Chains A and B, each alone.
Chain A
Amino acid sequence: MTTPIHPSIGRRRRMLMLGASALPLALAPAARAAIGGLPANTGHADLSPEWELLRGRLFGARPIQANGERVQLIAPLRAAYGASVPVKIVSKFAQAPTLYVKRLHLLVDKNPSPLAATLELTPEVGQADFETRLRVDEYSHVRVVSELSNGELHMDSRYVKTSGGCSAPPNRDSPELIGRTIFKLPAPATIGAPSTADLTVIHPNDTGFELNNVTVMYIPSYFVRTIAVSFAGRKVFDADLDFSISENPTWRFNFVPHEPGELRAEVADSKEHRYTGSLRVA
């Protein structure tokens, strides 16, 4: 049994959800609305009323640089499915004890729960690049805010045009597999160098906005809340997650194996079920 990794972040996330749901529609600037309330030619780097609110709650008055020098977000303008929008976070420098990415915040401005993920990183990541898939509920900016060990904040954003990501029907063919936690190495790990790994947790990650076609009832939210990844007993990263992550949450990340050891993930979901997965890296 493990305890939730960052209960304070969980509390903050719930406050953000409340704040976002209470956001008055009148805040939406007319200049951004086309006929029918649709967004007009919104730029990838534009701000949004939702982001302004989130920014204040998450970062207060701290300056955030958005010059592309430290972090880049890659996401399609239109994805195949709104419930599975691929995103990639690229850090522009290697992790080092003197300067490293300490925390990554992944946000979807207009989602019911906009803070999709907060990752707490260590230099053991080697290179702070991550890939995952997000649910995007409507036309929205997707943002990453990179918090460096020296306190600097850097942001990049992409505007994504899709809809229905939070209400797409579930795809659970094998409920008995829920919780299975699987590591894969796309290429053999290299001792002493950043090596890439894929982690998948089989889980519906239900949002609470999906309709059961048979019962015509909404499926209660049920999602992976935390993942703690370590290698050879040393923390690589912790993730505090939400249902804005697609079903079967998958993360591609890097780690630096200093010697052979075990890659391990400890997972907890919103029903307090706990799962583990591991992979021996020779």
Chain B
Amino acid sequence: MMARRSPGPSPSALPSHSPRGLGAAALAATLLWALASGAAQAVGIPPAYAPLVIEPVGGPDRAEFDLGPALARAKRENKRLYVYLGASDCPYCRRYENFLNKNAGELVPHFRPWIVVDLRSALSTTSKQLHIRVGDKSLAYTEFQRSIGDERTRMLVYPSVWLFDPQLKPLMQMPAGTGTFETVDEQLEILNLVQ
């Protein structure tokens, strides 16, 4: 079963392909509302994927996600990390999570070599506020991306996915957003590191 690809990355950081006419704008608003309505049904990676949920700490002006426990577990179990950054109020996150949920029967076996890490943020958390902690280092989003050689430094996009080995080495440059892997075949391409 193939799911529809989302039209683009997160509405929080990138404007979507906005239509030119009022009618089209109304249609877009309706679609957005429909997406947001779906969000009420589930937030985060579906339980079938046994996600390691990480909530932010640090207060309203700083949302810090500690990857330490996930890395420790990855080393212990010799597994890769599938790190998902979602936002509680992000329709495109709900779309991806719903895709995972809908196709769990087919996809979960392919996620076995991975530990799925679910970083739960909010659209209001900006790239300057979002920090990633690894050991005694805590880096803001852009600095973290630079430190691992990820090209996604220009803007923070929800949702985002990183693929790491147990030493936090990126396994593949990932795209901003999840819109290009919301079909089973394409999700498998990602898991198989097809470039």
Contacts and interface: CB of A to CB of B under 8 A. Distances in A.
B183 A80 contact: no
Interface in B159-195: 173-176, 179-181, 183, 185-186, 189, 194-195
A163 B180 contact: yes
B27 interface: no
Contacts of B16: 164
B21 interface: no
A87 interface: no
Given A76-B195, A77-B195, A161-B186, A38 B4 contact: yes
**Is the contact region of chain B dominated by helix, strand, or loop, or is it mixed?**
loop
B29 to A, nearest CB: 13
A78 B2 contact: no
Given A36-B2, A38-B5, A81-B154, A163 B179 contact: yes
Contacts of B86: none
Given A35-B2, A78-B175, A171 B154 contact: yes
A98 interface: no
B15 A169 contact: yes
Nearest to B190: A78
Contact of B152 (A81, A171, A218): A81
B14 interface: yes
Contacts of B76: none
Contacts of A64: none
A171 B15 CA distance: 13
Chain B interface size range: 20 to 34
A36 B5 CA distance: 8
A161 B42 CA distance: 28
A164 B183 contact: no
Nearest to A85: B175
A164 B14 contact: yes
Contact of A80 (B15, B17, B152): B152
A189 interface: no
Interface in B1-34: 1-5, 7-9, 14-18, 20
Nearest to B195: A77
B7 A164 contact: yes
A161 B186 CA distance: 10
B151 interface: yes
B2 A162 contact: no
Contacts of B189: 77
Nearest to B6: A163
Interface in A63-122: 76-82, 84
6 A-B pairs closest in CB distance: A80-B151, A164-B8, A36-B4, A78-B175, A35-B2, A161-B180
Interface of B: 1-5, 7-9, 14-18, 20, 150-152, 154, 173-176, 179-181, 183, 185-186, 189, 194-195
Given A81-B151, A81-B152, A167-B8, 14 more contacts: A36-B3, A36-B4, A38-B2, A38-B4, A38-B183, A77-B194, A77-B195, A79-B151, A80-B175, A162-B180, A164-B8, A164-B14, A168-B14, A171-B154
